[in-house]
Amino acid sequence: MSNYRDDAAHWEQFYRTHEFPRESSFARFVAGRLAMPTSLVELGCGGGQDSAFFAALGHHVVAMDRSAAGVDKARAKALTLKGGPIRFVVGDADDDAALASVFTDPDVREHGARPVALYVRFFLHAVPQATEDAILDAAQRDLDGGFTLAAEFRTDKDAALPKAEGVHFRRFIATQDFAARLRARGFAIEHLEEGFGLSPYEDEDPHLCRVIARAPARR
């Protein structure tokens, strides 16, 4: 496993050499469960294919990644989009001010009747648990009207399996531990599944967990 801090260089290089022209199967799964339109915050948006997909459907999207190369690609995708408003930010989820800026973005906060979703695909396993905790703390503080969390991540059962993209930082998350952390925060879990076949990539079929959970309103 490589060091989490050094991993920024991995992603910078990755987005210079990889293209993801299509949205993920998780994005399609989540889209079918969102009210129209939703204010959607994506963290770890990478090349922006899922954010662009949600905006094309008419959702209002604010997305952040710490990779400038990823966000450059994401912004290029958004240029040709007709749909809901979309904004990409280069920012680090370990920086509380960066998190607060996306969660308090006017398009997220001044949503009127629009519900809010926090979308994280292949992101929670790319950050340490302390970062996961900081993200959920900030979201529950700033999105005090409640929100839906949609997460897809690699489980502990994926740890020993072969990987298409070689060695870099990955935190393999035990599904029931994550579910317990959400319940301890007051989330109601609406959907929880884990298994193979959810998002095959090249010759890899990762063992993944999908969670949809509702954070309680605090105001």
- Site residues (vs ligand SAM, CB under 6 A): 11, 20, 24, 44-46, 65-67, 70, 92-94, 121-123, 126-127, 131
* Structure token digits, residue 173: 């998350």
User: Which residues are bridge partners to 151 per DSSP?
Assistant: 120, 211
Please answer whether residues 170 and 210 qualify as being in contact, where contact means their C-beta atoms are separated by less than 8 angstroms. Answer: no
Of the candidates 73, 151, 146, 153, the one whose C-alpha atom is nearest the C-alpha of residue 114 is 146
Q: Which is nearer to ligand SAM, 110 or 193 (CB)?
A: 193
Q: Which is nearer to ligand SAM, 81 or 146 (CB)?
A: 81
Helices (H), 64-195: 68-79, 96-103, 106-109, 129-142, 175-184
CB of 142 to ligand SAM, least distance (A): 16
Q: Which residue is nearest to ligand SAM (CB)?
A: 46
Q: Which is nearer to ligand SAM, 32 or 112 (CB)?
A: 32
CB of 65 to ligand SAM, least distance (A): 5
* Structure token digits, residue 137: 């703390």
CB of 173 to ligand SAM, least distance (A): 13
CB of 39 to ligand SAM, least distance (A): 18
Q: Which is nearer to ligand SAM, 21 or 110 (CB)?
A: 21
Q: Which is nearer to ligand SAM, 60 or 171 (CB)?
A: 171
Using a 10 angstrom Cβ sphere, with 0-12 exposed, 13-18 middle and 19 or more buried, the burial of residue 113 is exposed
